[in-house]
Every structure is written in C-alpha cells, then in structure tokens.
C-alpha cells in the first residue's frame, strides 16, 4: 500500500514566533515575516468543503450499513432489459434504473451501494490491522529506542523494500489457495483484508514510530520517568494520548489509500470474486466493455474518487485542528 | 567515512533479509512447487525440476544456492516457456525505465513552475485554485485516470497526430533504450505514442505531490533574510525566484522524486496492465498468476536490491549536499 | 549651495493588519538626512526601528501593511512607490546591510557571484570588469585574499568577514544612502568596532548618507551626527549626538545610557536593565507609552501623551512632561523615590 500523502506545509505563525518571547516586538516581526498567512491560519470552524466531505462520507457509510434493509434490487440478479444500458452507453439508457445495468444486467445502483459496503469494510479492517500491529511496533521502537528500535526499524525496512502492490498480490495468491487443490483456502475477502492489512503494517509502523520518537523526547515524559513511573504506564498515559490524535488523520488517509489499493488489486485479479461487488472489481470486470458501456467502469470509479477526496479533505482538516495545538504558543 | 560504511552494512543486511523474506514467502505458495511451475510435466520432468532447483534440500541451503546463483547473474528460468529469467528481465527493464523516466519528466516539468508560481503568489485566487486542483489530483487513482484516458482517446477522440501517430490504447512499440539492453530499437514516434497515456496516468499523482512539496519549501525559503537582501540589491522577482529561491527549496522534492524511482516500478503494475505495456510490473503479475515461484524470487530480489540501492544513493547525495545547506528540514 | 536633504522622512507611520488587530509598529516618525552625514536610530527590540528602516527602503510585505506619511529621496516621493519602481533605487541608490550576515547571504551561491549579480543588474559592464570591481570592493572592505574569497561560500567565512562581504554587496553600485540595520549585533565584540570603523570609512570615501540602526547607544556615541531615539513606534528624543549625551531630556534615553556596561565598572557590578516590557502595539496606551517603566512618571503622564517639543538647543526635540535635568523632572523623580521608600518601610512594619 503506497504511503499516504503528508502535507509538509509548516505552520507559519508558529514558525515565525517559535522560541521568542511574545511581546510587541514578536507581533511586529511575525507580521513582517508572514504577511498574509497570519490571517488565514486561525479561521474558526470548519469550511464548506469540510462539511461537504463529512456529508459525503456519512452518506456512503450510511448506505453501506443500511444496504440490507434498503429497497434495492439484488445485486446478483440479472435483469436482461438493462444489460449494458446506462448513461453514456451505446445501447441507450436503462428504463427505470437510473444508473443502468452492467453487462450481466445487474442493477448498478444496488451494486454500487453493496460494493461500497464491501470496499469500506475491507479498507477499514485492513487499516485497523495495520494500526494495531504496525502501531504497536512503531510505539515500541519509538519509545524504547536503542536495540529495540534497531530491530523494529530493520523489520520495517525489510518489509518496505518490497513494493506494496506486489507483496499484496503475492499474499492474496498464497492465502487464497489450498495446498495442491484448486480453490478452497481462505475466503477471497478475508485473504484480501489480511493482505492489505499486512502491507499496511510497515507503512503505519514507520509513521507511528516517527510520531512516538518525537513525543517521547518531550520533557513531560522525562519528568514521568524521573518520578519512577513504569514504562507501560508512561506509554499509556503520556505518550499514547498524544500520538493517537495525530494518527487520526493518518487513519483517514490510510483508509483512502486502502480503497485505491483494493481497486489496483482488483484490476490485477486479486480482489473478491466478481459476484460480490466491490468498487474495485466492478471496474475490473467493466474494463472489457469500456467502449460500449463506459458507465459500468466510471460509476464505481467516480465513487472511489469522491470518497477518497472526501477522506483526504477530512484527514487534512483533522490534522490542522490538532496541528494548531502542536505548534501552539 | 564511518557512517557510509555503516549505512552500506545496513543496506546489505536489509537486502539479505528481504530476499530471505521473499524466499520464505514463496515457499508458502501452496502446493508442490513442481506442480505449480510445470503442472503439465511428466513425473520425470518434475523430478528433474526439483533436483535443478534444489527443492528437496533444506531451506537455508536452498537460499544460499539461490543467492549464489543470483550474484553470478543466474536468475533461473521460466519453466513454461523455457526462457532464462535474465532474458525476460532484459526485455522488460528498458520498458519500465522509459515509462518511469517519462512520467517523472512530465511531472517535474509541470510541477516545478506551478510550485514556484504558487509560492510567489501565495494566498491569491490563482494559488488557491492550483492548490484545489492538486488536492483533487491526489485523490485520483492512476488506474482511474488511465481508464478515463483510454476511453477518451480510444473511443471519443481517436486522434491521428503527426509523429506520434494514432495513439493506441494498448500495445507497445520499443524506444531508444532497448538497444542498450541488446534489443532492437523501434519507431520513436510510435514509441512515444504508446507511452503517452501511461506516462500521463502515472505523472498526474506525482504532479500533485511534487508541486505541494516545492511550494511549501519555497514559501519558507522566501521568508529568509537572503531573499530580502536579494530584493534590496534591486534584483527582479523572476531572478530571485529562479536563481536564489529555487535551489535551496528543491531538496525535499529531489529526495522524493529520487525515491519514487524505486516505488514506481511496483506501483506502475496496474497502469502497465491496462495499457498493455510489457514492463517489469506486467512480468511480475504474469508470474504470480502462473505461480512461477522461481521467476518471482528473482524479480522480487531485483526490485528489493534496486529499491535499497536507490535509497542509499539518495542518502549519500544528502551527505554531499549537506555542508552547503545548513538547515534542518524535517 | 543649498540642496534639499537626501532623505526626508515626514510623519511616517507603518501599521500591520493582523488577527489581533492593527499593530502600530511605527507611529509618526520624522527626520532628515544629508549626504555625508550619519543618523543613529536607537531603540529596544520592538521599538519599531527595524520596521522603520524597512519602510524607508520599501521592503515591507505586500499585504496587510498600512502606510502613512511621506518619504522623499532626492526630492522624489518613494513612500508610495510600488516594488517595481523601488527596484530602480535598490542597490543603485539605496543599499542595506542586514543584522545577521549568515542568513543574509545565499548559502548556495558563491560570494563573488552575489556581488557581481548586483553589479550586472544596475551597470552595463563586461563580466571581467564586474569581477575586477568585485575584487576591489572586497579589498576596500578589507577582506584578506579577495581573489580566493570570490569563489568561496558564505559558510566558509567567519562572521566578521561575512558582514564585510554584505557591506561590499550593498556598496557595489555606489548608492548614495546606506541603511545598516544592527550591523554588529550578531558579531563578536572584538569584531564590532572593526565593522563600524569600516562603515565610517566607506561613508567618508563615498560621501554617503548612513542610517545606523541599533539598540546600543554606545555604538552611535562616536559615529553618528544625529541620534533619533525610538520607543514603542514613536520618536521620543531627537538631537545631535553631542547634545543628546550632554543634555538628554527623555528619561528613557537616560535609562538607556545607564544600561550600557562601562569598561571601568567593577566586574561584579550589576547591569541596570530597564525593568518592565514594551507596551502592546495593538492596544497602545493613552498617555505616554513609556509611563509604565519610567522612574519620573506622574499622573499626567498616564493620561496625556506628551507631544514632541523642541528643547533649548536648535534641533533638539523630546517627548516628555517631566524631562531629565529640569526642575519639574527632578521633583517628579524625588516624589517617586520617596513614595517607593515609604511603601517599603510600610511593608516592614
């Protein structure tokens, strides 16, 4: 799973005033040095874009959860009239089905909603796995440093040396097949989740480690140690509560990355079998009919795009809310 | 000196461990390796296979033999087509390298001026517009863009351009790098025609990342005292931006671009498959599908070594550039 | 031969529009400067002296700045000029030396190029000529082995040398006005005098006007013709150097003078710093801005801001109700001192 994008833009007010006493001189120099940026940073409340993102994610998640009780067509049911018909399709639009049908005649709308359910489940659980194991490794390495960190870093580096897509692909293949026989082995969905989760471990581990390292060097940790607190207690009470908020935005970004990864793997044939829709495998099977029925590909593609966009936006907003406290005066 | 030696040692350890890991992982590929690799072979052929690849020997001995072979350049062979793996790599490597090069070039040519411009005009409408665009581009997966381009060019537009010819949606024409690897060159125009869409698909995400990196570093650099001093000398804004501010700001960008050479090999798989470009990604994809474990070992080893080497060179480059640039950037 | 002064600063104000409100960094500063003369602008950090020098040069940020007043250079108004117009002045007519030579020089550019770049921007000369000019500039600022230094990078030079290079850069095109913003603050004490001497020598040779901005009264003592003392964005005292030191009126100036460590003080003598901190420049206090820290303060000071009044000597202006050395001043000081001892003895009972 490729590394989630981190925006390195520095907090300009914090940077301009860091380390200097706050008085008239500081305000003057901060104003001289940062100019227009000074106004922008402290806008109160969330912007319009942020609310839009929250809305979209709420919608998608809501539909995903409610899928079984919504009045949708069975995503596996074929309705011949709407086969290969839909917006932009060669065969014209489908009667009664707004988003058309795929080449088997299955209703796109219901497939999209059920697909979202599977995709989001896969992405979320994979990220949780990555966080639990990667996070644990990163926490240990970043906090204890020394030999522990050498081992942890080595472990992370080794796993990172193999491109994520390839590793995930190999893992899915391994997990899906049973020795000697064709078929059997793990359920493709489970295999996918485990593969993505495993690939997420080194990435999230590295980020957690970096965050833990910086927090462990703060004075309040040293103070706790000087008071004789046990490591476990310090980690639980001093380090973790500070690392977790920063990781929240990473979590959102990671889920976005996992959704894209599922799509990539689907194109390579490694996602769930195509009867169960996911946004990724809908694109994968729709590829053949791209020319005649592009909606089969582009409807799930747009779902991925908008959801990833919304998650990125939200992740950004969450981070800037916590960054203010981080670089605060 | 000591640090370089230490880093080198670290590198070797990582390479060994990752190849070991890959080796072990592939041993987990289900079933008898002989059954997987030559499922239609006779019992005798399978026995010969097992002896050749040492599959009947203990694990570490297998690994040591394999490592030894690797170092000598023997990468095993594809048992289904009986081609040596090194040949297949030789054919696929120039393809992947050219694709990576084009994608990076496109990305840098677009991202650098955008980054400079938005840093210069920070806070203006233009800056916000570009930033929003970059943000949206980041959310666009390369395979989605690839499919969109394939549809638009292949179905809607169907162009026939000079020099590039009809831009095909699938297929590949060899370019200028193939002769270096012992293959024949192809029609350069057609070559670029086949590479155009895949390169753009890969470049889009890179553009967004590079532009934001450069922009944020430039904004910080433009606050520096020596920029004000350059203004006080009466230099034009253009000169200050390109001659004074760009160089110190490009460190992070160059680092990430360098690292991307390592990640683009694996990351281009989907795009390669969509456009039918026979690069390393496609090779690996096919090997996994065909359960060709012996091939896969070599591919993963090569990639891991390449990735680690690139990382090392970038670190070394930092040490070289470091004395001049005395600033601690995260 | 009467010519208009080279630099005429009239009632200049510079305010910054920030989230907290309008920062009154510079509030109504006026002075004039002729060629060949030096004016020292003295004040604590936060007094507005740096913003003033940047305002004169026109090197302020593009947004969020409100400017008032007039700045005339050789009779032409530059206070309202846009950066594109100012670029004709920068380097060619007005040069600036910054406080920290390490950050003022581009770390990835050779020293020689940083000098010749300025030359090529304003003068139409060949590359060889520009290089020779740069070498002779380095010689004149007394950088040893100038030919070799041309190809070196800033981090290879010591702090004092770097500042000389900055001076060379500023002087490259022969400006008529040089602004030096705390040119020696970041340097070793031993090197400070050398750099200041160098500035003085260059000024004499080139018949330049020099604006010397500093927080240290000692720096202007031997080198400025006129001194402008700033506090919280305002001019609080202005006089020729001789008058200032012999007949200072503003209590702030007196306090500044007393805070300079003297070479003949015993080594454990306490340095008297001025207690308290400068006022908030967003919500400026009514009344005198120095009132909270002044030893002479009376009730009137807190309510009514004193205007800039002329003193007995021509050209001497100050801003105080109870100036130093006057009967009112002495009374005020005594009253405060008695009150202080009264309260302390009251505490002890």
Give residue C329's pLDDT: 85
3-state secondary structure of A248: helix
Contact C62 A35 (CB under 8 A): yes
Q: Which of B15, B216, B266 sits opposite A164 (nearest CB)?
A: B266
**pLDDT tens per residue across span B85-101:** 888 888 888 899 899 99
pLDDT of A244-269, one tens digit each?
A: 877 888 899 999 999 999 999 998 88
**pLDDT: which is higher, B267 or C134:** C134
Residue pair B138/B150 in contact (Cβ under 8 Å)? The answer is: no
- Residues of B within 8 A of C92 (CB-CB) are 234
B151 touches chain A (CB under 8 A): yes
For residue B31, CA distances in Å to A185, B79, C303 come to 12, 17, 94
Taking only the tens place, the pLDDT of each residue in A10-20 is 333 333 333 33
pLDDT in tens, A189-215: 888 999 999 999 998 998 888 888 887
Q: How far apart are CA B118 and CA A145, in angstroms?
A: 40
The CA-atom distances, in angstroms, between B54 and each of B50, B57, B294 are 6, 5, 11
How far, in Å, CA of B283 to CA of A163, rounded?
Answer: 14
Task: Check residue A271 and give its pLDDT.
Answer: 80
Q: Which residues of A touch B155 (CB under 8 A)?
A: 290-291, 294
* Residues of chain B with a CB closer than 8 angstroms to some CB in chain C: 123, 224-226, 228-237, 239, 243-244, 247-248, 323-327
Whether chain C has a CB inside 8 Å of the CB on A43: the answer is: no
What's residue A23's pLDDT?
34
pLDDT score of C55 more than 60: yes
Give the SS3 label for residue C95.
strand
Of A5-14, A23-32, A285-294, B110-119, the poorest mean pLDDT is in A5-14
A 10 A CB-CB count for A252 gives: 23
CA–CA dist B281, A165 (Å, integer): 10
CB-based contact A282:A300 (threshold 8 Å): yes
Please give the Cα distance from C282 to A26 (Å, whole number): 12
- Which chain B residues are within 8 Å of A10, Cβ to Cβ? 216, 220
- Look at residues B204, B276, B147 and name the one whose alpha carbon lies nearest to residue A280: B147
pLDDT of res. B37: 65
Q: Given the structure tokens 């990196």, which residue do they identify?
A: B213
Tell me if chain B has a CB within 8 Å of the CB of C297.
no
- Mean pLDDT (chain B, rounded): 81
Put simply, whether B210 touches A (Cβ < 8 Å) is no
Highest mean pLDDT of the ranges A121-135, B242-256, C249-263: A121-135
**Distance separating alpha carbons of residues B242 and B249, to the nearest angstrom:** 10
DSSP C43-69: --TTSSHHHHHHHHHT---SSSEEEEE
Parallel, antiparallel, or unpaired: how do β-strands C38-42 and B77-78 relate?
Answer: unpaired
Report the residue from B13, B141, B300 with minimal CB separation from A260.
Answer: B141
Nearest Cα of chain B lies from the Cα of A166 at a distance, in angstroms, of: 6
What are chain C's partners, defined as 3 or more CB pairs within 8 angstroms? A, B
pLDDT category at A91 given cuts 50, 70, 90 is low
Q: Is the dihedral of CA B13, B14, B15, B19 positive or negative?
A: positive
Given pLDDT bands bounded at 50, 70 and 90, which one contains residue C215? confident
Q: How close, in Å, is residue B232 to chain C by CA atoms? A: 5
| Residue position matching structure tokens 């009470």 | A237
pTM equals 0.80
Task: Look at residue B26 and tell me whether its pLDDT is greater than 80.
Answer: no
Residues of C within 8 A of B247 (CB-CB) are: 108
Q: Is the pLDDT of residue A40 over 60?
A: no
The model's confidence at residue B321, banded by pLDDT at 50, 70 and 90, is: low
Which of C85-115 are b and which e, b meaning 16 or more Cβ less than 10 Å from the residue's Cβ?
A: ebbebbbbbbbbbbbbbbbbbbbebebbbbb
pLDDT for A282-304, tens place per residue? 998 888 878 888 888 998 999 99
Q: Say whether B226 and C170 touch across the interface (CB within 8 A).
A: no
**Which of A32, A38, A324, A329 to substitute to test the interface with C, most C CBs within 10 Å?**
A32
Q: In this predicted model, what pLDDT tens digit does every residue of C283-308 receive, in sequence order?
A: 888 888 888 888 888 888 888 888 88
Q: How far apart are CA A187 and CA A179, in angstroms?
A: 15
> Is B214:B115 a contact under the CB 8 Å cutoff?
yes
For residue A14, the chain C residues in CB contact (below 8 A) are none
DSSP H/E element including B127: helix B125-139
pLDDT greater than 70 at residue B53: no
Give the DSSP letter of residue B152. I
Measuring CA to CA, which residue among C160, C63, C68, C148 is closest to residue C111?
Answer: C148
- Neighboring chain A residues of C64 at a CB cutoff of 8 Å: 31, 35-36, 38-39
Tell me the pLDDT tens digit for each residue of B195-249.
999 999 999 989 999 999 999 889 988 888 899 999 999 898 899 999 889 888 8
How many angstroms separate the CA of residue C47 from the nearest CA in chain A? 7
| Smallest Cα distance from B311 to chain C, Å | 24
pLDDT value at residue A185: 62
Better-predicted residue by pLDDT, C324 or C349: C324
Confidence band for C345, pLDDT divided at 50, 70 and 90: low
Q: What percent of chain C has pLDDT over 70?
A: 94
DSSP code per residue over B198-248:
HHHHHHHHHHHHHHHHHHHHHHHHHTSHHHHHHHHTT--HHHIIIIIIHHH
pLDDT at A325 over 50: no
Model confidence band, residue C129 (pLDDT cutoffs 50, 70, 90): very high
What average pLDDT is seen over chain C?
86
DSSP C299-329: HHHHHSPPP-EE-SSTT-EE--SS-TTSHHH
**Are the beta carbons of B30 and A177 separated by less than 8 Å?**
yes
- Asked if residue B301 lies in contact with residue B66, where contact means CB atoms within 8 angstroms, the answer is no
**Average pLDDT of span A25-42:** 37
What separation, in Å, do the N-terminal and C-terminal C-alpha atoms of chain B show? 24
- Yes or no, beta carbons of A291 and B151 under 8 Å apart: yes
The residues pairing with C229 across neighbouring beta strands, listed in sequence order, are C42, C237
pLDDT of residue A29: 36
Contact of A185 with chain B, judged by CB distance below 8 Å, is answered with yes
C-beta atoms of A291 and B289 within 8 A:
no
Query: Any chain A CB within 8 A of the CB of B147?
Result: yes
pLDDT in tens, A122-179: 999 999 999 999 999 998 888 887 888 889 988 898 888 888 888 888 888 877 764 4
Neighbours of chain B (3+ CB pairs under 8 A): A, C
High-pLDDT (> 90) share of chain C, %: 31
Question: Across the interface, which of B225, B237, B248 has its CB nearest the CB of C108?
Answer: B248
Mutate to test the interface with A, among C103, C234, C281, C282 (most CBs of A within 10 A): C281
Beta bridge partners of C318: C237, C309
Mean pLDDT of A56-70: 89
Is A264:A284 a contact under the CB 8 Å cutoff? no
Tokens describing residue C253: 């100036």
Dist CA B6 CA B306 (whole Å): 19
Helices A164-176 and B293-321: crossing angle, nearest 10°? Answer: 160
What percent of chain A is predicted at pLDDT more than 70?
76
Residue among C16, C45, C63 whose CB faces A25 most closely: C45
What one-character DSSP code corresponds to residue C17? E
> Does residue C107 carry a pLDDT above 80?
yes
Strand B83-84 with B77-78, pairing: antiparallel
Residue A305: HSE in the Cβ half-sphere, 13 Å Cα cutoff: 19
């Amino acid at each position: 799973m490729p590394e989630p994008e981190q925006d390195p833009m520095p907090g300009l007010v914090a940077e301009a005033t860091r380390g200097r006493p706050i008085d008239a001189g500081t305000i003057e120099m901060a104003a001289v040095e940062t100019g227009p940026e000074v106004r922008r940073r402290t806008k109160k409340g969330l912007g319009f874009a942020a609310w839009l993102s929250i809305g979209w994610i709420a919608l998608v998640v809501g539909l995903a959860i409610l899928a079984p009780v919504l009045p949708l067509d069975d995503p596996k049911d074929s309705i011949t009239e709407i086969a290969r018909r839909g917006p932009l399709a060669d065969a014209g639009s489908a009667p009664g089905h707004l988003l058309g049908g795929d080449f088997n005649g299955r209703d796109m709308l219901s497939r999209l909603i059920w697909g979202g359910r599977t995709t989001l489940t896969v992405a979320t659980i994979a990220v949780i796995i990555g966080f639990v194991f990667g996070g644990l490794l990163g926490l240990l390495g970043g906090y204890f440093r020394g030999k522990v960190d050498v081992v942890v870093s080595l472990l992370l580096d080794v796993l990172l040396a193999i491109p994520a897509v390839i590793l995930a692909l190999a893992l899915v293949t391994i997990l899906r097949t049973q020795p000697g026989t064709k078929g059997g082995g793990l359920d493709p969905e489970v295999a996918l989740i485990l593969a993505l989760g495993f690939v997420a471990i080194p990435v999230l581990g590295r980020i957690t480690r970096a965050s833990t390292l910086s927090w462990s060097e703060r004075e309040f940790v040293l103070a706790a140690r000087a008071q004789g607190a046990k490591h476990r207690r310090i980690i639980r009470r001093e380090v973790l509560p500070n690392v977790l908020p920063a990781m929240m935005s990473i979590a959102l970004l990671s889920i976005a990355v996992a959704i894209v990864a599922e799509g990539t793997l689907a194109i390579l044939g490694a996602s769930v079998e195509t009867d169960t829709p996911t946004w990724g495998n809908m694109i994968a099977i729709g590829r053949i009919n791209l020319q005649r029925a592009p909606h089969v590909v582009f409807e799930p593609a747009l779902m991925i795009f908008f959801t990833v966009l919304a998650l990125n936006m939200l992740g950004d907003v969450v981070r800037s809310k916590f960054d203010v406290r981080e670089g605060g005066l | 000196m000591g640090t370089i030696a230490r880093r080198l040692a670290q590198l070797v350890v990582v390479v060994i461990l990752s190849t070991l890991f890959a080796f072990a992982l592939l041993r987990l590929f289900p079933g008898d390796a002989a059954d997987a690799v030559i499922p239609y072979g006779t019992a005798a052929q399978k026995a010969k296979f097992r002896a050749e690849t040492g599959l009947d020997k203990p694990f570490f001995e297998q690994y040591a033999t394999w490592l030894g072979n690797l170092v000598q350049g023997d990468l095993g062979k594809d048992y289904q087509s009986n081609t040596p793996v090194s040949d297949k790599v030789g054919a696929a490597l120039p393809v992947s390298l050219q694709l990576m090069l084009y994608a990076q070039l496109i990305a840098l040519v677009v991202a650098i001026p955008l980054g400079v411009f938005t840093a210069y005009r920070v806070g203006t409408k233009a800056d916000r517009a570009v930033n929003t665009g970059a943000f949206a581009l980041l959310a666009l997966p390369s395979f989605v863009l690839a499919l969109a381009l394939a549809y638009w060019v292949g179905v809607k537009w169907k162009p026939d351009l000079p020099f590039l010819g009809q831009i095909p949606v699938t297929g590949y024409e060899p370019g200028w790098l193939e002769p270096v690897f012992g293959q024949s060159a192809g029609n350069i125009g057609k070559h670029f025609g086949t590479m155009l869409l895949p390169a753009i698909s890969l470049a889009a995400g890179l553009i967004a990342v590079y532009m934001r990196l450069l922009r944020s570093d430039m904004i910080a650099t433009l606050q520096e005292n020596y920029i004000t001093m350059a203004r006080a000398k009466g230099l034009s804004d253009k000169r200050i931006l390109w001659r004074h501010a760009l160089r110190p700001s490009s460190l992070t960008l160059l680092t990430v671009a360098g690292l991307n050479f390592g990640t683009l090999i694996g990351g281009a798989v989907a795009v390669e498959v969509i456009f039918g470009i026979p690069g390393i990604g496609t090779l690996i994809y096919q090997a996994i599908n065909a359960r060709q474990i012996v091939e896969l070992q070599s591919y993963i080893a090569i990639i891991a070594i390449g990735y680690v080497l690139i990382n090392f060179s970038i670190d070394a480059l930092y040490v070289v550039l470091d004395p001049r640039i005395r600033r601690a950037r995260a | 031969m009467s010519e208009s002064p080279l630099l005429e600063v009239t009632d200049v104000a510079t305010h910054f529009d920030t989230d907290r409100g309008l920062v009154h960094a510079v509030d109504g500063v006026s002075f004039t400067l002729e060629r060949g003369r030096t004016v020292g602008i003295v004040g604590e950090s936060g007094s507005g002296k740096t913003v003033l020098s940047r305002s004169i040069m026109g090197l302020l940020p593009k947004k969020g700045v409100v400017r008032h007043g007039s700045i005339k250079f050789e009779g032409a108004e530059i206070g309202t000029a846009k950066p594109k117009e100012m670029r004709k002045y920068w380097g060619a007519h007005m040069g600036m030396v910054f406080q920290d030579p390490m950050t003022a020089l581009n770390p990835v550019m050779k020293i020689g190029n940083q000098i010749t770049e300025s030359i090529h921007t304003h003068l139409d000369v060949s590359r060889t000529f520009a290089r020779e000019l740069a070498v002779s500039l380095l010689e004149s600022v007394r950088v040893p082995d100038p030919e070799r230094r041309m190809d070196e990078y800033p981090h290879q030079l010591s702090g004092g040398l770097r500042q000389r290079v900055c001076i060379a850069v500023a002087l490259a095109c022969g400006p008529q006005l040089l602004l030096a913003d705390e040119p020696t603050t970041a340097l070793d004490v031993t090197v400070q005098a050398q750099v200041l001497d160098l500035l003085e020598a260059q000024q004499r040779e080139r018949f330049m006007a020099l604006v010397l901005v500093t927080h240290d009264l000692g720096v202007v003592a031997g080198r400025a013709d006129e001194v402008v003392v700033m506090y919280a964005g305002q001019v609080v005292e202005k006089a020729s150097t001789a008058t200032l030191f012999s007949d200072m009126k503003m209590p702030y100036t007196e306090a500044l003078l007393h805070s300079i460590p003297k070479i003949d003080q015993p080594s454990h003598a306490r340095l008297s710093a001025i207690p308290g901190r400068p006022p908030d420049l967003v919500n400026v206090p009514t009344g005198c801005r120095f009132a909270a820290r002044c030893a002479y303060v009376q009730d009137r000071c807190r309510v009514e801001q004193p205007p800039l009044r002329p003193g007995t000597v021509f050209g001497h202006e100050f801003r105080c109700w109870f100036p130093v050395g006057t009967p009112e001043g002495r009374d005020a000081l005594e009253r405060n001192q008695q009150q202080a001892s009264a309260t302390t003895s009251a505490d002890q009972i």
